[in-house]
Amino acid sequence: MRKNLGLRIGIVVVVILTSLAYLDVHIMVARLFGYNQPAPTPINLGLDLQGGIHLVLGVDVDKAVEAQVERAGDSVRAELEKKGIGVAKIERRGPTELVVRLASPQTWNDAQSVFRDMAIFETKEADQGAGRVVLTLRPREAAAIKDLAVRQGLETIRNRVDQFGVAEPSIQQQGENRILVQLPGVQDPERAKALIGKTALLEFKLLDDRMDAETALRSGIPEGDEILYQRRVDKETKQERKIPYLVQKKVLLTGRDLATARVSIDQNTSEPYVSVDFNAAGAKAFADLTDANVGRRLAIILDGNIHSAPQIRERIPSGRAQITGGFTSDEATDLAIVLRAGALPAPVQVLEERTVGPSLGADSIRKGLRSTLAAALAVVLFMLLYYRLSGLIADFALALNLLILMAVMAGFHATLTLPGIAGVVLTIGMAVDTNILIFERIREELRLGKPPRAAIDAGFSRALRTVIDTHMTVLVSALILMNWGTGPVKGFAVTLFTGICASLFTAYFFTRLIFDLIYMGQRRVESISI
């Protein structure tokens, strides 16, 4: 049947040329002839093939709830003071409760409107005589905070990794409070863990100059203050010592007030430091802060550790500050990255860690290629010996199948993994299996006495239903694995799904086209090489 033969040839040619283009074959040819072209990298290799780091992080969502309750406590205090209601004490009790003590029980009725406006809380205990109320976080609000903490953590880690410059990272949520991070090509796990896992909570607080830290440690820390430490390492002995500071608990500025952060070099010491610029609101608050506290010391705190505590000498209207601390170049760069990306909403800890070296990845590639080539060679020889010319046609269809499979993966920027190579090997077998079904059906039609042309038509048409049934079951399985599988399972499913779709095209479009070109153009066909 020569119907639409020209159109069918055109479609096959377009598919082949498009596939070659996606695989950067033109670049390979240009480089072969000495033209200066960038190295082709059409297909991304997974962690198990090029090496890298696999991390599973656990998000401490309870800490996110506690932080939200603490911030809500500050809001309650601010609203009460705005209404002229004195507050004796506000403290968090447990992860979800807030205990409020009014300075005077006579202001109880006026305070109730503030408590009612705090929609995320409900009243658990109320003692009007003592001016004491216990607010507890609503369960649905706690669940929402936990979910948001994981999603924000995912986005923050993704921003940090993007600025770190990792090609084709995989960052996704795993379960309710876990984050899976795969960084191909990264060979410094400690630096990567530090970059990803740093909470990066930047705070600016004033030192309490009424008492020194040593006295506070001996006689008791004043209400509203806390002791924080600055770590210093002796450059000669490399010994670390902690210097205590008495710091006011009130947070004056945070990392949320930053516009950007970058690495600069101190002209006097040649040491790197991090320069931060505040946004418009932060710059105004910083100017007011420095104007009102000239002569006092301002602690710059990162994740509970004081990095520096410079003295405010004058009002600073520029909205710019410096974070020093004896950083190395990498440490300063990583700190600038995490400050630009933002703080994690909750601490994370490494639950699982695997590092794949580049040599192991290269060995996996060699073994994968050998197994694929061995499978392809065995199939090609079998088809040639058993089906002769028809087997040769099937071998060309197999080559086109693999070409389309690799081109689709390159076009969609899919990542090839070791299980993905297993999917390719399985695709090879299933691709020729489709041709075997068709060829056996043609043989059966010939044994029934049909002429060659009629046998070809009947073989392709009657095998179609069986082929579709078998392929659909595999496609459904692959789709399930793609949607609900993770990591290696998903890589296997992607290559299997793509390969099965390609085999349907090559078997029923390409193979039939070649049969039509060879046999349907002859006036009289005596036999078929099958």
**In a structure prediction context, what are the per-residue pLDDT tens digits for the chain, which is 530 residues long?**
456 788 888 998 999 988 888 877 655 555 555 555 555 556 777 777 777 888 899 999 999 999 889 888 888 888 888 888 888 888 899 889 999 999 888 888 888 888 888 888 998 988 888 889 999 999 999 999 999 899 988 988 888 888 777 767 888 888 889 999 988 877 777 888 888 888 888 899 999 988 889 999 988 999 889 999 988 877 677 788 899 999 999 899 988 888 888 898 888 888 898 888 999 989 999 999 999 999 999 999 988 889 888 889 899 998 888 888 778 888 888 888 888 888 888 889 989 888 877 656 567 777 877 888 888 888 889 988 998 899 999 999 999 998 998 888 888 777 787 788 888 888 888 888 888 889 999 999 888 888 888 888 888 888 888 888 888 888 998 899 888 876 678 778 888 899 889 988 898 889 988 888 887 666 676 778 88
Angle between helix 329-341 and helix 139-164 axes, rounded to 10 deg = 140
98 in Cβ contact with 77 (< 8 Å): no
Closest CA to 41 of 55, 22, 59, 57: 22
258's torsion region: left (phi>0), alpha (psi -120 to 50) or beta? beta
Cα dihedral 412→418→421→422 (10° resolution) = -130
Alpha helices, DSSP H only, in 177-279? 189-197, 213-219
Alpha-carbon distance 415 to 420, whole Å?
Answer: 8
Neighbours of 120 (CB within 10 A): 17
Q: What is the sign, positive or negative, of the torsion defined by CA atoms of 283, 284, 290, 291?
A: positive
Integer Cα distance of 430 and 435 in angstroms: 9
Does residue 169 contact residue 184 with C-beta atoms inside 8 Å? Answer: yes
d(CA 385, CA 370): 22
d(CA 243, CA 260): 29
Q: Return the half-sphere exposure (C-beta side, CA atoms, 13 A cut-off) of residue 436.
A: 13
Beta carbons within 10 angstroms of residue 404's beta carbon: 23
